[in-house]
Structure 1
Amino acid sequence: MNPTSTRHAHIRSAALDLFVQRGYEATTMGDIGAAIGIRGPSLYKHVASKQDLLATIIGATMDDLIAAHRAAIAGTADHTERLRRAVDAHVRYHARHRREAFVGNRELRSLVEPHRSTIMGQRAAYARAFEDLVTDGVTAGTFRVRSPRLATYAILDLGMGVAVWFREDAKPTENDVAWHHTEVALRIVNAAPAGIIDRGIQPIQ
């Protein structure tokens, strides 16, 4: 990593800490500069604005989640396994990146255009990727749920909740949490045992 990239990473990390501790509105560029030993005015040589910092942090979080999702489901066509892997990646990301998840959810209200539309588009794409998994499973008869969309919201909330309470130095462990949440997700969609096809439940929009 070159010096410029390193400095930008330090700035983003300091901003992230302060957004978690104080909130976006209560944090100033001077606060961010002081946290890394740069005078407030000099900080503008490295970043355009506090708003750009927030958008960069949340946008990077969404990029990482989308990339993790795609990597997780690659290599298998089995509907149950694809959902299991996707939920595992979702939960583990939120366990390992609690600051990013916290800011990404709480500070959506602080985004202004055009950043807000961009981020909301990323969030919609991520949710749609999960909904597609559920819908495909319902179509194949592997999952039995009336509303893939509502099931998707419930599954996504599993991971976001982990970011609130999970701690690396306490139990349950990350592996325990990931395993449990994947099992809960499969129950949410009523995953059928292998080989059983039941088309008796009609989806609702």
Structure 2
Amino acid sequence: MAAPRGSIDVSAIRAAALSLFAERGYRATGMADIGAALGIRGPSLYRHVESKHALLRDIMLGTMRVLIAEQRAALESSGDVVVQVRRMVEAHVRFHAGHREEAFVGNREIGNLEPGARAEVLALRSRYEHTLREAIERGRALGRFTVAEPRLASYAILDMGIGVAVWFRADGPYSVNQVAYAHADLAIRMLGAS
């Protein structure tokens, strides 16, 4: 049964698209598939969204904006650089544990973005990594970290957190907080915290 006209909002369309992009991939998902998931005809979606690409762009930009906001909150939560890095890692891990579809789509579908949107997403990713690296470098300058390569360390920490989206299960043996704290401990040790 089709949904009543005007009852579909953009957030529901994005949620359906996200789920299908994560399950099938961007290229294998059509507007008809997204519409079917919502109980409407695919062409009806164009009353609410510009295109399938616009949905992908909005999903990926939205993901990065949430990650950056959570990272900023973690950074501002303390004046101690070790605590700042710990909380940034915890926020990163929590996001990836709780937003598996966004993680899959964000990492797998970057090549399907048009050049302008891809550049925008990549700039946000760079900003996110750079913020973590700056904290590591600051900790090193203060003698709190001994890591020789802050850039490589930031890449390793971020990849470690992204990997959580692959294996974490809410009904598994570890809670989100246990995983976040364990990853933060590993990251702090990797950095050679004093």
- Structure 2-normalised TM-score? 0.95
Instruction: State the Cα distance separating 1:172 from its structure 2 match.
Output: 1.4
Instruction: State the Cα distance separating 1:39 from its structure 2 match.
Output: 1.0
- Structure 1-normalised TM-score? 0.90
Question: Which amino acid in structure 1 is aligned with residue 84 of structure 2?
Answer: R
Partners in 2 of 1:5 and 1:189 — Cα distance? 51
Question: Which amino acid in structure 1 is aligned with residue 172 of structure 2?
Answer: A
Pairing 1:187-202 to 2, within 5 Å after superposition? 187-192=189-194
| 1:28 pairs with one of 30, 33, 44 | 30
Question: Which amino acid in structure 1 is aligned with residue 162 of structure 2?
Answer: M
Instruction: State the Cα distance separating 1:75 from its structure 2 match.
Output: 3.6
Give the gaps of 5 or more residues in structure 1.
Answer: 193-205
Partners in 1 of 2:127 and 2:59 — Cα distance? 18
Pairing 1:31-50 to 2, within 5 Å after superposition? 31-50=33-52
Q: After the TM superposition, which segments of 4 or more aligned residues of structure 1 sit over 3 Å from their partners?
A: 3-6
Instruction: State the Cα distance separating 1:21 from its structure 2 match.
Output: 1.0
Question: Which amino acid in structure 2 is aligned with residue 114 of structure 1?
Answer: G
**Residue matched to 1:159:** 161
SS in 2 for 1:77: coil
**Residue matched to 1:134:** 136
SS in 2 for 1:172: coil
Instruction: State the Cα distance separating 1:43 from its structure 2 match.
Output: 0.7
Question: Would the alpha carbon gap of residues 104 and 5 (structure 1) be closer, same or farther in structure 2, given more than 3 Å must change?
Answer: farther
Question: Which amino acid in structure 1 is aligned with residue 112 of structure 2?
Answer: S
Give the gaps of 5 or more residues in structure 2.
Answer: none
Partners in 2 of 1:38 and 1:160 — Cα distance? 34
Pairing 1:40-189 to 2, within 5 Å after superposition? 40-189=42-191
Alignment deviations for residues 105-164 of structure 1 (CA, whole Å, 9 cap, x no partner) = 011111112111000001000000100110100111100011110000001011100011
Partners in 2 of 1:179 and 1:88 — Cα distance? 6
Partners in 1 of 2:145 and 2:30 — Cα distance? 49
Question: Would the alpha carbon gap of residues 138 and 6 (structure 1) be closer, same or farther in structure 2, given more than 3 Å must change?
Answer: farther
Matched residue pairs, number? 190
Q: Percent identity?
A: 50
SS in 2 for 1:119: helix
Instruction: State the Cα distance separating 1:79 from its structure 2 match.
Output: 1.2
